[in-house]
Structures are given as structure tokens and as C-alpha cells.
Structure 1
Amino acid sequence: MRGQILGVDMRTGEGQLAGEDGRRYSFRPDDWAHRGEPQIGLPVDFNPEADRAHSIFPVPVAPAAAAVPATAAPPVYAVAYPPGRYEPTTDRNKIVAALLAFFLGVLGIHRFYLGRTGSGIVMLVLTITVVGMLITGPWAIIDCIRYLVMTDRDFARRYGS
């Protein structure tokens, strides 16, 4: 019979489910015949016996994407973040990165701080020569300005861990 989980006591693992016949059935943890935990609202298949449910399995749900017709518009790959949800995060600070770029930028320290070790090594090696310092100096100033102008969301998306 099919039904739906109504509630589960997390301490004991006992719960109730509603069958498609309109009756309620109780179950114990050993009645749950699937890995994982039963969740409220989960559609299930079970064997009813008096007022008990045995051999409870979650009902597989077909993916909705399979029902999309072939003539549908191609998928959009732009990432949209609703406010306050799924925001990219980083443990790095853009102000610290900008200060490192401004004061120690020719050595590439800000690049190491942001996890860009390849370009940090290039800047460090270039600094050994006078010509290299003429390249890494403007590079560091441009990085400093870029970090300060960049929004927090863009900074976290680009340099997040």
C-alpha cells in the first residue's frame, strides 16, 4: 500500500504514516527497510498489518527534467543567487588583499593570500630583475584597484574556497 510519513519521534524512531486508504499506521525503526531516516511528508510503500506498517520503503520519484520536451529552450547557465540564499562565501578579505597588493604587491604576496600561487610565484620571480619590477609594480596596483572596486559577492565568487 502507498502512504505518506506524518511524523517521526527522533528519540525513539517511532512514527506514524497515513495510508492511501485514509487510515493511520504506526511504525518502529525496525519497520523502516531502507537506509537513512524517514522524513515527514515522504511518500512510502508499506505492508499494512492491523494498525502497524511493516517493510516501509520510500517511493522513487521520477525526475521532472525527463518530462521536458526536446523543443524546449536551451538551458541557461547563468548563476542567479536569491538574496540571502546560496551566497558564495570566502574566508579571505578583499581589503586585506588590496592592502597586500598595494604594499607588497611586487612580491606577489596578495596572490599567495588569495590562493593564486602560480601567479604569485611568477610575480616573485619577476621581481628579482629591474625589468620585472617594472612589470609587477603596475600589475600589483591594478590588482589593488580591482579588489577595491569588486563587489563582495564577485570577490567571494572569484576567490572563494
Structure 2
Amino acid sequence: MRGQILTYSPETGEGIISGQDGKRYTFRGTEYRGNVLAIRLGMEVDFEVREDGSAAGVIPLPGASGAPIGSQPVYAKSKIAAGLLAIFLGNLGIHKFYLGYTTQGVILLLITLFLWWLIFPLLIVGVIVLIEGIIYLTKTDAQFDEEYVQHKKLWF
């Protein structure tokens, strides 16, 4: 499978790869088929998935490059984009679709489309998505990534 290196710590020899299937896989530097000093954040790699869900046989793709270790990590989703989508288009569920929560996005969209004439349900949904947007924006990038991208926290 192909993927991209999201994190790698030379101190612990551990890292995380984001696979093309959208899942995250841990790997050890000993599984890297090349010079571990050449590992870069955002580097495109090919790897195999073990039964335990970790990556094995990590091979850098030809011409793969990335940011040096120690620079800012690469996150799959932007907390700013999610927060602004929640605040401005939250009633339509756009922020949920952006985060990959299709069911929750459809729920918000259907509430808005079919109950648009009822003020109370739209007001409640509006408050919920406003709070979600503010929460997204006040989290650090790492907290947002861990809670809403990796662990798929659906609401708030």
C-alpha cells in the first residue's frame, strides 16, 4: 500500500504513516528500508500492513521528499477549515462531510432541508455547530488531529 509519513521520532524510532485508505499505521525505524536519517515528514512511501495493523517493509518511493524531522508535522485535515466550515456552513453539515463523517453530515443537512420552516430546531442545530466550530478552532493542531481525525470523535 502507498502512504505518507506523518510523524517520525529518531529518539524512539517510531512513526506514523497515513495510508491511501485513510487509516493510520504505526511503524518502527527498523522497518524502514533505507537510511533512517533520510526519513522526512510528508515523504511518500510504500509499505505492507501487518495483522496487528502496523506497517512493515516501509520503502521510500523514487523521488520522495518531505520536510526535515523536527519541522511541523503534516496533518490530514485542517482545524481552521473545519472550524470555519462549522461556523459558516454548519447547518448544512459541510464541516462533517469535510471530516469524513458522512452520516452526521447527512443528518444536519436533512434537518436543515426538511425543518427550515421551524425556527427552534434550526436554532438548536445552529448553536451546536457554532460550539463545534469554536471547539475546533481552540484546539491545538495535534489535539484536533488526534480527537477528530484519528479517533473520529463525532460530536463536540
* TM tier, smaller: 0.3 to 0.5
Larger radius of gyration: 1
Between Structure 1 and Structure 2, the one with more helix by share is 2
- TM-score normalised by L of structure 2: 0.44
- TM-score normalised by L of structure 1: 0.43
